[in-house]
Structure 1
Amino acid sequence: MYLPPHFAQQDTDEIHRFITANPFATLVTVANGEPFASHIPLLLEAGEPLRLVGHLAKANPQWQHFATGSRVMAIFHGAHAYVSPTWYEKPGVPTWNYTAVHIYGRVNLIHDPETLRAQINRMSRHFEGEGEKAWIPAYSDKVLDMIVGFVMEVDEVQAKYKLSQNRSPQDQQNVIRVLQESSAESGRNVASLMQRALPENAG
């Protein structure tokens, strides 16, 4: 993605937190010169190399794209909000503040049924939580045969936190103030991220 240096997020722990907090990804492949995308949850497995795990319906042709060995891209979206130039002291134009992470890598399919079962059990428990009424996974062989599990080994991470870093301190404060009063949760979340990114709060 287009990534000016002042918008680049390079804190590894923050990037991992972002992926964990925003696991619903857009998985993009290219087959016969045509882009193809699926919208699926992906779980992060920290380590060397960093890995993402997930699964697709067997009826979804995208899993067959992995056999080419081509790189795959997973896009994670975070908080975002419209920013009006009327909020600035200095002249400006309308823009959008947002957070996004692009992950690149190659994918290996999971062929062992028990490894696949363990993976989707882990995913189900992750999203169900540990509450008293949480659903307990019990996937039959028939269900497993309807999906294709995979592991994506990450070879590149691009993280962009576009949070008005290119504006004056006063303009940044004005944007934070307006977004803090937004009726949209995403706008308020952008304000919190902007507040954390201010020089006096960084680190």
Structure 2
Amino acid sequence: MRQNPSFTMTDVGEIRRLIVRHPWVTIVSSTDDGLIASHYAVLLDPDRDDLTILGHVGRPDDLLHGLGERELLVVVQGPHGYVSPGWYGDGTQVPTWNFVSAHLSGVPEILSREENLRVLERLVAHFEERMPEPRLMWAPPNDPALVERLERGTVGFRLTPTKVVAKRKLSQNKTPDAVETIIRELSGNERWANPELADEMRRAHEAMAAAKERGAR
């Protein structure tokens, strides 16, 4: 991902927030047979305060990716959407696409069977907690034999990225009036509405304004 100083996102807390809110990632590897991509859910490592993530792949994706043997790229895609040139007001403008994304690169560590079980249990609990009657991994009708069989079909990993490229392109280079118009259009009820992207823009621009105010003191 090409970086632009105006859109660079370096705040670890903000990147962690992105991963928490958008855990369905794309895992990309360059192999002897060419590029390969897979899609899985990941979690932040609860024992770390950096960008270490935990996850798993189903067999034989571990072999296809050469998991643990070579560098891979994890793409975290946050809110994104089309921005019409008509929202910028009069004058020559071009359409664009606003987005938040992070690329985490590194060689993952393969988890032991016991660690993988804990990660699978944590993953299920994380997504089930919002359900009215959570069905946890070890809960009936599942039995230990079933859970262990499911675990054997996966390979868990821990990735502490050695390279992070994160980008938040949210019209930071546009006028305040244009930004307000874009947020209003994305927040509406029309078919182009994108409330999540509007909220992300609002959050980013409020943070920029607060930082500018602090710098002026």
Q: TM-score, normalised by structure 2?
A: 0.83
Aligned position for 1:160: 167
C-alpha contact (below 8 Å) 1:78/1:99 kept by paired residues: yes
Q: How does 1:181-200 map to 2 (within 5 A)?
A: 181-183=188-190, 187-198=194-205, 199-200=208-209
Distance (Å, rounded) in 1 between the aligned partners of 2:130 and 2:170? 35
Residues 48 and 71 of structure 1: CA distance in aligned 2, closer, same or farther (over 3 Å) = farther
Distance in 2 (CA, whole Å) between partners of 1:23 and 1:9 is 18
- Cα distance, 1:2–1:194 mapped onto 2, change above 3 Å: same
Q: Which protein has the bigger strand share?
A: 1
1:124 aligns with 2:113: no
Separation in structure 1 between the aligned mates of residue 193 and residue 67 of structure 2, nearest angstrom: 34
SS of 1:5's equivalent? coil
Compared CA separation, residues 62 and 180, structure 1 to 2 (3 A) = farther
Indicate the residue corresponding to 1:34 in structure 2: 34
Deviation of the 1:176 alpha carbon: 1.5
- Closer, same or farther: CA 104–186 of 1 in aligned 2, 3 Å: farther
> Contact 1:81–1:186 (CA<8 Å) still a contact in 2?
no
Name the residue aligned to 1:53.
Answer: 54
Sequence identity (%): 29
Letter in 2 for 1:13: G
Cα displacement (A) at 1:37: 0.5
Distance 1:62 1:190, change over 3 A: farther
Matched, 1:8 2:8: yes
CA contact (8 A) 1:36 1:62 kept: no
Contact preservation (8 Å) 1:49, 1:154: no
Q: Deviations over 1:36-67 (max 9, x none)?
A: 11010011126376321111111325565124
Q: Aligned equivalents of 1:66 and 1:190: distance in 2?
A: 33
SS in 1 for 2:136: coil
Change (3 A) 1:78 1:62: farther
After TM superposition, what 4+ stretches of structure 1 lie above 6 angstroms from structure 2? none
1:113 Cα shift?
Answer: 2.1
Give the match's secondary structure for 1:41: strand
Unaligned runs of 5+ in 2: 139-145
Structure 2: distance between partners of 1:50 and 1:97? 23
- Structure 1 residues 34 and 64: alpha-carbon distance in aligned structure 2, compared to 1, 3 A threshold: closer
CA 1:169–1:155: 2 relative to 1, 3 Å: same
- CA 1:45–1:176: 2 relative to 1, 3 Å: same
Shift of 1:185: 9.0
1:135 aligns to what? Answer: 135
Partner in structure 2 of residue 71 of structure 1: 71
DSSP-derived class of the 1:197 partner? helix
Instruction: Decide whether the 8 Å contact of 2:186 with 2:192 is kept in 1.
Output: no
114-123 or 41-50, larger mean C-alpha shift = 41-50
Q: Give the distance between the partners of 1:63 and 1:179, measured in 2 at CA.
A: 40
How many residue pairs are counted as aligned between the two chains?
201
3-state SS, counterpart of residue 140 of structure 1: helix
Unpaired runs of 5+ residues, structure 1, are: none
